[in-house]
Structure 1
Amino acid sequence: MQMEKDRGISVSASAMSFDFSGFRFNLVDTPGHSDFSEDTYRTLTAVDAAVMVIDGAKGVESQTQKLFEVCRLRDLPILTFCNKMDRESRDTFEIIDEIQEMLAIDVTPASWPIGVGRDFIGCYDMLRDRLELMDRADRNKVAESIAIEGLDDPKLAEHVPAHLLEKLLEEVEMARELLPALDPQSVLEGHMTPIWFGSAINSFGVKELMDGIGKYGPEPQPQSAEPRQVSPEEKKVAGFVFKVQANMDPKHRDRVAFVRMASGHFKRGMKLTHVRTKKPMAVSNPVLFLASDRELAEEAWAGDIIGIPNHGQLRIGDTLTEGEVLKVTGIPSFAPELLQTVRAGDPMKAKHLEKALMQFAEEGAAKVFKPSIGSGFIVGVVGQLQFEVLASRIELEYGLPVRFEASQFTSARWVSGGKAAVDKFINANKQHIAHDHDGDIVYLTRLQWDIDRVERDYPDLKLTATKEMMV
C-alpha cells in the first residue's frame, strides 16, 4: 500500500510463500502497531508458529507484549530474532533478561553477538559451533560462515579482534551456565523461545533464523472447527478465510480472500462447497503471494496460504470444504474503542461512500454501524490511526475525500437474547440501536452506566464486546 511506503509501517497483514532448504514456508507479516491489533489477532488464527522481532535498542515494546499474550492463549511456538545489532543496542544479557521477565518465557540463545553497534562483526552460532561474520561493505553478500571446534579453537583469534574475543568467551561461558539449554519439545509447547541476533538490513542472521524455523518450528497443526477438529493429514480439502483485502491492485477493483488450507491436496479448478451459502464454488484462479508479486497456484497442501480473487462472496470466517459442513471457530471480531461519524466531502456521493464503507467492513478494517434513527454511518475502530488509514484509502481507491467527526457514542456492544426480549429492548432504546454490516443488532453506548443499566433492567439479554466471525 502507498500509505505503508510513506509511513514505513505495516497497516495490513500480507502473506508470502516460498521454498527454502527443503521446506515450504508460508510467512504472514502482521502490523506491529497496536492500533491494528485486530487484523493481527485474526492472522494469528491462521498460523502455527510466530517469529517475534525485537529491536536491540528498544527491547520488548508494549504492543509486543499484547501480541505475545494472544500467542500464549493459542500456545503458539515462538522464535525470537533480535534485530538492528549493527546499531547501538543494549547489553545482550539485559535483552534476554527483559524478555524472560516481561513475557514469562524461558529464553535460550541460538547465537551470540560479537561486538555491538559499530564494533558488531557477526555472531557465534551456539547450536552449530560456527562463526558467522557479517560483511558491512556489501549488504547483499551472504555472511561468511566458518566451522570451528569449540571456543578454544585458535581459528577464532584469526577472525575476531582480541578485545571482542575476550568478551565473547566470557559472555558465552556465562550464558551456558545461567541460561537453559535448547529443548525442542519445550519450544513446540510455547514455554521456551530460542533467540537469534542479527541485522536484517544487512541480510545478516536471517538465514540462521530460517534454518532454525525449519528445524524447531512445527508442521501444520490441526484446526479447531465445529462439529469436529480438522486434521492436516485428511485427504479431503478444507480451508478457511482469515483475511479479505480489497483493491490490492489499484488498477483492478479486485478482492482477494486469504485462505489457509487446513487439510487435503487442493488443485486449481477444484469445485469446493462454500459452507455459509451452501453453494459450490469453482476456484479457477487461486494465487500464491511473494511480496507484491502473484503467481497462479496450481496446487496447495495443508498449511499453505492461497489467495482467491472474488467479487464479495467470501468473507472472513468462511469455510470451504469438499461438501462437509464444517465451521472454523476462534476468529474474533472486537467491539470498537473509538466511534466517529463519517461524511463524504461531496453530498451527492453518499452512495459511493456506502459502498466503500461496506467493502472495508467486510474486509475487517473497521466496524460500520447504521443507526436506526437518522442518516449516515458510524465507523468504529480500535485505534486512532485507523481513521487516517481509512480516509486515505477511501480517497485513493474511490476518489472520495471524506471527513470523520466526533460522535456522541463511545463504544458498541452486540445484543443477543430471545426475540421477544430483544424486540422490547429495541423499542425502548431506539436512539441507541444500530445494525452492523452483517445486519446484527448493536447497542451504542455513551457511558459505562448505559451498559450497567441494560444488564440490570434486561437480565434476559446479553451484551457482548466480541463477536465470533462465523456465519
Structure 2
Amino acid sequence: MKDYTPDKIRNVALVGHGSSGKTSLTAALLFDFGVTGRLTKVDKGNTVTDYEPEEIDRKISINSAVCFFEANEHKINCVDTPGYSNFLWDTKAALRAVDGAAVLVDGVSGVEVGTEKVWEMLEENELPRLIVINKLDRENANFKRALESVVQFFGRRAVPAQLPVGEERDFSGVVDLMRMKAFLFEKDESGKFREEDVPAALRAEAAKKRDELIEMIAENDERLMEKYLEKGELSPEEIHSGLKKAVFNRQLYPVFACAALANIGAQPLAEGMIELLPSPVERGSVKATVKGQPGSVKMSIDEPLAALVFKTISDPYTGRISLLRVYSGKLNPDSVVSNVTKETDEKLGGLFFLQGKEQVPAGQAKCGDIAATAKLKVTSTGDTLSTKGAEIALPSIKFPEPSISFAIEPKSRADEDRISQASHRIVEEDPTVRFERDPDTSQLLISGGGELHVRIITDKLKKRYNVDVELKPPKISYKETIKGKSDVQGRHKKQTGGRGQFGDVWIKMEPLPRGQDFVFEDKIFGGAIPRNYIPSVEKGLLEARKKGVLAGYPTVDFKVILYDGSYHEVDSSDIAFKIAASKAFKLAMREARPTILEPLMSVEVYTPEAYMGDIMGNLNGRRGKLQGMEQKGNMRIIKASVPMVEMLDFEPTLTSITGGRGSFLMEFSHYEEVPAHLQQKIIAEAVKEGRVRPEEE
C-alpha cells in the first residue's frame, strides 16, 4: 500500500439518523474506488462495515467501523457510525478520530431525531462537515423539501453545492454548481458516469443556485466580497478556496445529492471530501496536557507520539484490538510506548489498517492516520499512548451513564460459570455497559443506554461467548425503617436436660436521620450482662436487621441502645444472647411504627420544548417531584425525583411522547417512605413470594 503524508489523508465520519444510508454510502465508495469487487448491500448482510452478527440480523449499525479507500492520490479513512440513540456513544467516540464529517439526511424523511443529535456532537467537537441528501431515487424523495428541513433545523449556512438531475426513479445524476457540469450515472449500480453540460431544463435553476453559493462564499470573506461586488463574479479558484475556508471555519455546510443504493453520486462526494474537508495538518494543533500542564499537540510527524485509543474491539478469538488516531509523531510495530492515562508502558505488537474486520498490515502509522494494534495489556478506550518521557495526555472520552437496568439470570450452571469473563470482555469494548450485583436483592444487573442496547448485549453474550441468559425487570431494593421509639425485652430460655440456653436483653430502639444506617450503643452497667456477651448481642442485631418485619427487606436508619439484661452462670452463651437479641429486634421493630422505604432516582429528561407539558404530566403520574428546568441549545432539561419502580417502563413512553427526540439520564438519589396504600401491595407481594409469613405482616 502507498505511503501517504498527512496532507494527503482525510479522516471522515459518516453520521446521521439510523437507516439514513451511511453503511450503503460506505459500500458504494468502497466499490467505486476498487476496494470491493461488487456493490455490497445491507439487506444481503455482506457489507464491509456491518459485520457483527447482531448488525446483520437487525440490518442496522450497532458499532462504529473503520475502512479506507484511495482516490486522486489521497487516502480517505471513513468511519461508518451508528445512528440510533442507544448506540450514539460509539459515534461520539468516533468523532474524536476524524477531522470532518458527512451528515446524511434521508431524502424522503428530511432531518430526523438522530440527525439533530449527531449535529450537536459535531458542534461540540467543532468539526467541519458536508451534508448529503441521500435516497433521492426513492418514491416521495424530494431534494428541495429535504433541504428546507435542513435549513429549518441548522440555518441558512447549509447551501447546495449540487443539484439533483431527475427525481425519484428518474434520479440519474448531479449538477456540480462550482464547475457548472453535470455528472450523469448509469442505472446499473456500476457507479459509471459521464460528464456533460448542465441539462437545459436545469440551467436557469443551476445558475441561480450557483449565484447564491458564490454570494454565501463572498459573505464570509471580506476580500472576496469586495471583488464580487466590483465584478459580479469570482474565479473557479476563488470559489473553491473560499468555500473550503468557509467549511473549515464552519461558516458554510455544502449540500450534496446522492442515492447510495443505486450508486449515484458517491464519487463526486468523495471529490468533495478531498477538496473541501481539512487534512490533519490543516486542522492544526489539538489541546493536550503536556507533563501535567495545559498545552497542545502539533500535528507533525516530527513531534513526539500522541495517539488516542477511540475504540476497542473485543474478539473471543483474536483478543483485544485497539483502534488509534495518531495525532502527532508515528507508531512503529513492536515498539514500547507509554500509556500516559494508566501511567505504565505498553509493548505494541503488529500494526494494521482496518477494512471493517479485515486487517491490512501496516509498516508504520504516521501522524494523521487511523490504525489498529492487538493485545495491548492494560490500554482501554480513551487512553493516550505517547513517546516514553513525553508525557502527552489527550483529553479522554466521556461516555454517558447507563439509563436502564435489567436483571439477568444465567439459564444453566455452565452459563453462570462463564458470565464473569464474558461480561468483562463486553465492557472492554462498550464502556457504557455495567454488570454489577445488587447487594440487597443479590440479582446480577446489566445496565445500558436503552432496552435495545441491553438486548443486543445479551445477544452478544450468547453468540460470542456461549452464555445464555434471561432478561427480567430488576427487583426494587426496598428498605424498612421505623418512625417511632420502642423499649422491649428479648429473652431466650431453653431447657432440654443437661445444660440449657439462657440470654436476656433489654433494648431501646429509635429512628435516625435518613442515610445513617445503623448505630449500636452499649449502656450496660454493673455487669447485668457480662462484657464477653456484648459482641454476641450486636451480632444478633446485625443478623436480624437483614430482614425487616413488614416485607422482609433490609432495615436502615435506626439506633439500638442495649441498657439492661440478665444472664445465667451455667446456661448463658454467645448463641443464647444472639437469639435473645434477634427476638428483641423483631419486637422493637413492631412497636416502633415500622414503614417501608423505596429508592428515588434523580432523573434528567432532555426534550424539545413542544413536549415539555406531556412529559411533566407523565412524570407527575409516576409520583415524580419536579426539581427544576434548564435549557441546553434547542433542548429543555426537566429535572425530577421519581421512585425507581415508576421508571422501569419510562423509556418506551418517552420515545412515544417525543417521537424519539427525547432522552433521559437516571441515577440513584435517596430513599423515601412509600405511601401507605402502596406499602400494602408490597407486603402482599412479599407474602406471595414467601419473603415473610402471613402472621409476620
* Fold shared by both chains (TM-score > 0.5): yes
Q: Secondary structure at the match of 1:342?
A: strand
1:253 and 1:91, CA in 2 relative to 1: closer, same or farther beyond 3 A?
closer
Letter of the structure 2 residue corresponding to residue 100 of structure 1: V
Shift of 1:112: 0.8
- Describe how 1:180-191 pairs up with structure 2 within 5 A: 181-182=216-217, 183-191=243-251
- Residue in structure 2 matched with residue 378 of structure 1 by the alignment: 445
Indicate how the Cα distance of structure 1 residues 259 and 402 shifts in structure 2: closer, same or farther if over 3 A, else same: same
Name the residue aligned to 2:459: 392
The match for 2:68 is 17
Structure 1 SS opposite 2:297: coil
Provide the TM-score with structure 2 as the length reference.
Answer: 0.55
2:418 is matched with 352
Q: Is the 8 A contact 1:239 1:262 kept in 2?
A: yes
Deviation at 1:18, TM superposition (A): 3.1
**C-alpha distance 243-105 of structure 1, shift in aligned 2 (>3 A):** farther
Q: Please, what TM-score do these two structures have when normalized by structure 1? A: 0.80
Distance 1:368 1:187 in 2: 43
Question: Which of 322, 344, 354 is matched with 1:257 structurally?
Answer: 322
Instruction: Give the distance between the partners of 1:76 and 1:428, measured in 2 at CA.
Output: 50
Q: Distance in 2 between matches of 1:362 and 1:404?
A: 21
Corresponding letter in the other structure for 1:169: R
Distance 2:377 2:456 in 1: 21
- TM superposition shift of 1:391: 1.3
Quick check: 1:272–1:280 contact (8 Å CA) kept in 2?
A: yes
1:236 positional shift: 1.3
Q: Does 1:278 align with 2:329?
A: no
Does 2:64 match 1:4?
no
SS in 2 for 1:45: helix
Task: Select the residue among 277, 282, 286 that pairs with 1:223.
Answer: 286
3-state DSSP class of the match of 1:208? helix
Pairs within 5 Å for 1:158-237: 165-166=200-201, 168-176=202-210, 178=212, 181-182=216-217, 183-220=243-280, 221=283, 222-226=285-289, 227=293, 228-233=295-300, 234-237=302-305
Deviates more, 1:90-99 or 1:379-388: 90-99
Contact 1:259 1:305 in 2 (8 A): yes
What is the CA–CA distance in structure 2 between the aligned matches of 1:295 and 1:121, rounded to whole Å? 35
In the alignment, residue 374 of structure 2 is paired with which amino acid? P
Distance 1:294 1:409, change over 3 A: farther
CA contact (8 A) 1:268 1:285 kept: yes
- The number of equivalent residue pairs is 413
The amino acid of 1:301's aligned partner reads: K
Q: Determine the structure 1 residue equivalent to 2:135.
A: 84
Amino acid at match of 2:455: E
Post-superposition offset of 1:409: 6.3
Shift of 1:270: 2.1
Percent identity reads: 23
What is residue 34 of structure 1 aligned with on the other side?
85
Query: Quick check: 1:339–1:409 contact (8 Å CA) kept in 2?
Result: no
CA gap of 1:2–1:206, structure 2 versus 1, over 3 A, is same
Partners of 2:140 and 2:626 lie apart in 1 by 47
Look up the match of 1:98: 149
Contact 1:254/1:311 (CA < 8 Å) preserved in 2?
Answer: no
Contact kept in structure 2, 1:83 and 1:200, CA below 8 Å: yes
TM-fit CA distance, 1:302: 1.7
Q: 1:160 is matched with which residue?
A: none
Q: Does 1:115 align with 2:151?
A: no
1:46 equivalent in structure 2: 97
CA distance 1:426–1:396, change in 2 (3 Å) = farther
Q: Is the 8 A contact 1:265 1:299 kept in 2?
A: yes
Q: Which has the higher contact order (CA 8 A, sep 6+)?
A: 1
Stretches of structure 2 that go unaligned for 5 or more consecutive residues are: 1-51, 218-242, 478-512, 519-545, 547-553, 556-598, 604-623, 628-639, 642-664, 668-697
Q: Which amino acid aligns with 1:304?
A: D
Runs of 4+ displaced beyond 6 Å: 424-427, 429-432, 449-452
Quickly say closer, same or farther: Cα 1:119–1:332, change in 2 above 3 A. Answer: same
Look up the equivalent residue of 1:115 and give its one-letter code.
G
Q: Structure 2 vs 1, CA of residues 349 and 90 (structure 1 numbering), >3 Å: closer, same or farther?
A: closer
Q: Is this contact kept in 1: 2:306–2:393, CA < 8 A?
A: no
Instruction: Give distance in 1, aligned partners of 2:626 and 2:474.
Output: 18
Deviations 1:183-207 (A, max 9, x none): 3222112232111112212322111
1:201 aligned counterpart, secondary structure: coil
- Answer with 1 or 2: which has the greater Rg: 2
Deviations 1:234-260 (A, max 9, x none): 52111011111111xx6x142211111
User: Residue 261 of structure 1: SS of its match in structure 2?
Assistant: strand
Question: How many Å separate the matches in 2 of 1:172 and 1:115?
Answer: 13
The worse-fitting range, judged by mean Cα deviation, of 15-24 and 316-325 is 15-24
Looking at structure 2, the residues matched to 334 and 365 of structure 1 have their Cα atoms a distance apart, in angstroms, of 6
8 Å CA contact 1:83–1:199 kept in 2: the answer is yes
